Structure 1
Amino acid sequence: MQPIIKTFPTTKFIGINSQFSYSDYRIGELWGKFMPRRNEIRNALGTDLFNIQINPENFDFNPQTEFVKWAVVPVSDFDFLPEGMQSLIVEEGLYAVFNHIGDASKARETFGYIFGVWLPNSEYELDNRPHFEILGEKYKNNAPDSEEEIWIPIKKRI
């Protein structure tokens, strides 16, 4: 599984966020709050959903270390912000983009490969910027043929 190296442009998002850890992973709760309200966002660009993770500085992947997870859609502007939602800007940056196929239970294998095999053997290192998945038209929540793009922030090794 080889990634495509891409530059993600600066993008504006609107959605909701929550703070939790891998040991207290409440992603279903976050998306359960967002999905019924996503159509309140008037200036959405396309239909893709973004699952964005913002890690603290020097994130160690410890199951108890907390991070912020966002359920969002890209928008053209912040002129209208639905009540209870927040805005987020992801700045331009270099990413390794992996195509994940399978249900959520297979994600652990994919991320294990990315961080345990591909990244250490590549010419890149992890950059401290948002990680995200793009849930596009081929995404089918927990279906074995579901597809999503996993975007990992990278920078060239020095």
Structure 2
Amino acid sequence: MEARIETLTEKKLIGQHIEMSFIENKTFQLWSNFMPKRKQIKNTINENLYSLEVFSHGHFDNFDPGKTFQKWAAVEVGNYDEVPLEMETLIIPDGLYAVFIHYGPASEGHKTYHTIFAEWLPNSKYTVDDRPHFAVMDHKYKKEDPESEEEIWIPIKNRD
């Protein structure tokens, strides 16, 4: 699997989040609540959707699939001048990311993540950094379509 290494510049997002774990996955519930309300968000930069995970410090040190984290559904905005009711703000700070493309149905995304964390990352010169992980879903994203594509952004830093 190939990675594109990018330095991200800060992004401002508006969306909603839910506490969940990998065992108790509430992604569908989150997006079902967010999508009907997303048009209330003005000043969006583009049509891209952001699916983010905000993990606690050291979340991956002793991985536990029952440990909770924040899962976000969001869009990128130019500013926070208007934040609709029931929406929240989140900043993705500047930093280094490994970017991967997941090809195929969204339900098979776990295979791409497994390859990233079990194969690519251990064989790279990087380790996971404590910044949000996210997927960008643009016009190529088609949910369960075998032709679907989404970008997966993993925060990285050089190994010590």
Pairwise same-fold verdict (TM > 0.5) = yes
Code of the residue aligned with 1:3 in structure 2: it is A
| Superposition pairs of residues 1-150 of structure 1, within 5 angstroms | 1-60=1-60, 61-150=63-152
Cα distance in structure 2, aligned partners of 1:120 and 1:112 = 12
SS, match of residue 18 in structure 2: strand
Cα distance in structure 2, aligned partners of 1:36 and 1:80 = 18
Deviation at 1:77, TM superposition (A): 0.5
**TM-score normalised according to structure 1 size:** 0.97
Question: Deviation digits for residues 28-78 of structure 1, max 9, x if unmatched?
Answer: 100001100111001111000000100011113312100001100000110
Gaps of 5+ in 1: none
SS, match of residue 109 in structure 1: helix
SS, match of residue 30 in structure 2: helix
Over 2 Å off, 4+ runs:
none
Deviation at 1:132, TM superposition (A): 0.2
Gaps of 5+ in 2: none
**TM-score normalised according to structure 2 size:** 0.96
Cα distance in structure 2, aligned partners of 1:95 and 1:157 = 14
Cα distance in structure 1, aligned partners of 2:11 and 2:107 = 29
Code of the residue aligned with 1:152 in structure 2: it is I
Question: Deviation digits for residues 72-111 of structure 1, max 9, x if unmatched?
Answer: 0000110101001001111001000000001123211111
Q: Say how many residue pairs are matched.
A: 158
Code of the residue aligned with 1:18 in structure 2: it is I
Cα distance in structure 1, aligned partners of 2:2 and 2:11 = 25
